[in-house]
Amino acid sequence: MYPFLFRHVLSRMDPETAHHAGMLVIRVLGAWPFAPLSRAFTRPDPTLRVRTLGLDFPSPFGVAAGFDKNVAGARGLGALGFGHVEVGTVTAIAQDGNPRPRLFRLVADRAVINRMGFNNHGAAAAAQRLEKLRRRRHRPVLGVNIGKSRVVDVAQATGDYVASTHLLAPLADYLVVNVSSPNTPGLRGLQAVETLRPLLEAVHAAAGPTPLLVKIAPDLPDDEVEAVARLAVDLGLAGLIATNTTISRENLQTDAAVVEAAGAGGLSGAPLKARALEVLRIVRTVVPASFCVISVGGVETAADVQERVDAGADLVQGYTAFLYRGPLWARQINRGLSALRAAG
């Protein structure tokens, strides 16, 4: 049913409007009396459990940051079978993000371009929702992704990240420093090791016992990927997420005029698959086995998830394919993983 719905209804809607409509359905699925039924239908097989970051994940497959920016649908996403939900990106100061339209489908590529600009209600609002959610008996593992507030100068970014950390780290199962979105001016410059080190040191100190990870861009040269990975290990971080969206527009099937009309922003989805896998392999060669690596980018099928696990990923995240696969996507992935592993 979902392919028909997407082709004839959702694909004709503004992508951001369609996303908000989908979130309403997800929130309903996470509430009584639907949540118990959803969990019974989508619960991952116990053989898929993963232990990493000092946490137990019911499945290696989770939702990447960007899908649930305001901690609105995390419970419903968990009920749909995702092993964890990474909320955000959250900024210390609430902000509207970039002007609409800012989300564009490239259907021929099963991809999306976004320039959302960290639109969110701010760290204080997210903290209130996380506190309520953590009191729930059934909730997914919760990662919190934090970024720089747009109104804060890059030179003052450390204090801005630390402010978010103080509010959110005590309520997060793990915390992620996002320095790799292409949609906040100057943000990716923070990935340079000489500027990233003091930022991560300060956030790590503020995060206390909460596992801290850093998220990097696929557009970094290989040697810089290695440098950031080594830095994360040197600072005692718990892990690294590879990768964010890309600014590349190479080898797309969508008409070039359509791509140009979409404009600037990060590209996600199937075209990112090869580079995301390559970055994962680079990272895994320079970090110890105990260091958690989460792979993101171009993941759509159970085979894709298993390929990332085989390449060294502890966990795998998806986002864009949700638009094309629909609400049973996590269930399909989990069942497919069980079948692949049973087949040997």
* Domains identified in the chain and CATH numbers: 2-342 (3.20.20.70)
Query: According to the model, what pLDDT value does residue 8 have?
Result: 82
Q: How far is CA 7 from CA 4, 24, 25, 92, 104, in A?
A: 5, 20, 18, 38, 15
Instruction: Confirm whether residue 132 is marked as ligand binding.
Output: no
Q: Show Cβ contacts of residue 169 under 8 Å, excluding neighbours closer than 6 positions.
A: 144, 175, 206, 207, 208, 210
Instruction: Confirm whether residue 223 is marked as ligand binding.
Output: no
Query: According to the model, what pLDDT value does residue 230 have?
Result: 97
Instruction: Confirm whether residue 148 is marked as ligand binding.
Output: no
The pTM score is 0.95
Instruction: Confirm whether residue 245 is marked as ligand binding.
Output: yes
Instruction: Confirm whether residue 2 is marked as ligand binding.
Output: no
From 181, 268, 290, 338, the catalytic residue: 181
Instruction: Confirm whether residue 251 is marked as ligand binding.
Output: no
Residue 84's DSSP bridge partners are 141
| Mean pLDDT score across all residues of the chain | 95
* Residue 293 near residue 313, CB atoms below 8 Å: yes
Strands 141-146 and 111-114 come out as unpaired
Query: According to the model, what pLDDT value does residue 11 have?
Result: 84
181 is catalytic: yes
Query: According to the model, what pLDDT value does residue 35 have?
Result: 78
Residue-wise pLDDT tens digits, 317-327: 999 999 999 99
pLDDT along the chain (344 residues), means of 10: 84 91 88 82 94 98 97 94 97 97 96 96 98 90 97 95 98 96 86 93 98 96 96 98 96 96 96 98 97 98 98 98 93 97 91
Instruction: Confirm whether residue 65 is marked as ligand binding.
Output: yes
Residue-wise pLDDT tens digits, 108-122: 999 999 999 999 999
Q: How far apart are CA 244 and CA 272, in angstroms?
A: 9
Query: According to the model, what pLDDT value does residue 183 have?
Result: 81
Q: Among positive and negative, which fits the CA dihedral 188, 192, 195, 197?
A: positive
* Residue 83 near residue 57, CB atoms below 8 Å: yes
Residue 90's DSSP bridge partners are 146
State which amino acid sits at residue 250: E
Query: According to the model, what pLDDT value does residue 36 have?
Result: 83
